[in-house]
Structure 1
Amino acid sequence: MLKLDARDIKILAVLAREGRISKAELAERVNLTATPCWERLRRLEAAGIIQGYHADIALSRLGPSVTVFVMVELGRHKAEDFQVFERTVADFEEIVACWALGGGFDYLMQVTTRDIDRYQRLIDELLARRISVARYYSYIVTKGVKTGGVPPLAALFEDLSELPVKSG
């Protein structure tokens, strides 16, 4: 287990908000010199805690798009059915996120396409693959109210002195 301290959490919090910050500025913001800050950053990356750096793209400025949240219920609930569904979902670039759920539905997918017609073609293709989809419900996003949030790291941990985190 990798132990994190308050400074590691601060590094993560800064990077979650400002992924393009320079290493020198990051070190200054967390009150470290460059080398120890860089070593902590490499350790967090190597442990898989930092999984990547991404741009927050304003799709509305690029052209038309539609985001749809889809609740999916499978017809069968065997391990193989879940595995087949999850492998199939991974094949579709338009399915930008998918979560397995506990409760009434099995999955929540976030789909982004150019328009509703392309969304429907994606659903038709999923259904044609016979991956045990019993039913699905589509919820079209009409307006983003709060998006791109960063993890509330300080709120998640009461004691920042030593946080055990599984490596790998």
Structure 2
Amino acid sequence: MTSLDRIDRHMLTILQQNGRISTAELAETVGLSASPCARRLKRLEDEGYIDGYHATINKAKAGITMKFFVEISLSRHQVDSIQEFEHAVMDMEEVINCHIVSGGYDYLLEVVSRDLESYELFTRQLHRLENIKDIHTHLSIRQINDRSVVPVYA
């Protein structure tokens, strides 16, 4: 992989803010002509700096009214038990993020739900998993920041 220069970083920042921007508009914004901009964009995609393009969905309009952060502690930490848990969580559509974390628990899940009843059904799914020792839930009252644009340090 090549290192990123100022123009590459600027392109990545713009694309995070507007993934539907045309190559011509992107080129104009970063001060290039269309052909060199298109080549840079292709290189950034080929080298894996861009994982994909997607739409950001309005959660409320999609029927999601609640968000939870769920701390999970496992009872067993053997490879098979961990893989079984991780595969189960990846199949749960309510789990929009899952992190292995350090500290007092093993995983932190970000979970969305239509309502409390739907969340209860989700927790019943979790309780059916054999390897779970503890579940602690935190209800998000209000989101202060929803930053999807990340700084580009490379």
> Does the CA-based 8 Å contact 1:59-1:65 persist in structure 2?
yes
TM-aligned CA distance change 1:18 to 1:64, over 3 Å:
closer
Higher relative contact order, structure no. (Cα contacts within 8 Å, ≥ 6 residues apart): 1
2:151 is aligned to 152
1:100 is aligned to 100
Indicate the SS of the match to 2:21: coil
CA distance in 2 between partners of 1:57 and 1:65 (Å): 13
CA distance in 1 between partners of 2:80 and 2:34 (Å): 49
Indicate the SS of the match to 1:49: coil
> How many percent identity over aligned positions?
38
Equivalences for residues 3-152 of structure 1 within 5 A: 3-63=3-63, 65-130=65-130, 132-152=131-151
> Structure 1: which 4+ aligned runs deviate by more than 3 Å?
61-64
TM-score, reference length from structure 1: 0.84
CA distance in 2 between partners of 1:79 and 1:26 (Å): 46
The superposition leaves residues 107-144 of structure 1 with CA deviations (integer Å, 9 ceiling, x where unpaired) of: 111111111111111121122132x1110111111111
TM-score, reference length from structure 2: 0.91
1:166 is aligned to none
The superposition leaves residues 135-164 of structure 1 with CA deviations (integer Å, 9 ceiling, x where unpaired) of: 0111111111111331122xxx3xxxxx4x
Letter in 2 for 1:133: I
TM-aligned CA distance change 1:90 to 1:64, over 3 Å:
closer
1:160 is aligned to none
Which consecutive residues of structure 1, in runs of 5 or more, have no partner in the other structure? 158-162, 164-168
CA distance in 2 between partners of 1:62 and 1:28 (Å): 35
